[in-house]
Amino acid sequence: MHKWKNWVGVFATVVLLTVSSCASWTPEQKEYTAVGATGGALVGGGVGCAIGLQTDEDDPKAVGLGCGIGVLTGAVVGGIAGYLLAPKPVPPPPPPPPPPPPPPPPPPPPPVRQKLVLRGVHFDFNKYDIRAGDAAVLDEAITTLKANPGVVINVDGYCDAIGSVDYNQRLSEHRANAVTNYLLNGGINVLQLRVHGYGKTNFVATNKTAEGRAQNRRVELVPEP
């Protein structure tokens, strides 16, 4: 009887070592398995020894074999039962959902269109020739228009109040065409130009003085919006 108890102790120790090596088991599974294996080994050993004694109580080998088989079988069955009876491990919580993607950046603001300011030119009385001093003004306009090829400008010709309406209408058109031809000769695309003659209208100064009439004899370069 003393020998099979030693077998139980040895086997329980082996079971405990085996259980302790299962790092993935929970503490409850290890505990239940160890208790089940130990209890199973005790019960199995008792049953095995009893069977061995009944078989041939005078033969110590038969008794020892019965005890050993009983301990082994009981430990295995008890360990499995203990493992199955152990509380199941709680599954880990699911990972948090990924953060939502950042909102797309706002579209860039539309480019601010630079206000284009072009100086106009003036003419002598009853003339539509480009004066030498005004050629530099138109050269400056050519440089600006080449830098802004998408801009369309109105070439608007005007007169002072002296003379008939029909005559001044034709004269204003001649003045607008003279400026247009200068711009075209300077390399400006014809599609950028809109030519108008407005005659004796839209005065910018009084027609009662020579200085005022000189300001009214003009061609304005007005960018379209």
Which pLDDT value is given to residue 31?
79
Q: Which of 181, 186, 133 is nearest to 157 (CA)?
A: 181
pLDDT tens sequence across 179-195: 999 999 999 999 999 99
What is the 3-state secondary structure of 188-224? CCHHHEEEEECCCCCCCCCCCCHHHHHHHCEEEEEEC
**Strand runs labelled E in the chain:** 121-122, 153-157, 193-197, 218-223
Give the per-residue pLDDT at 2: 47
Structure tokens at 39: 């209890």
Q: What is the pTM of this model?
A: 0.52
**What is the pLDDT, as a whole number, of residue 4?**
45
Q: Which residues of the chain have pLDDT under 50?
A: 1-5, 7-8, 19
Per-residue pLDDT of 51-79, as tens digits, reads 766 665 556 666 666 677 766 776 777 76
Q: What share of the chain is helix, strand, coil (3-state, %, to 5)?
A: 55, 10, 40
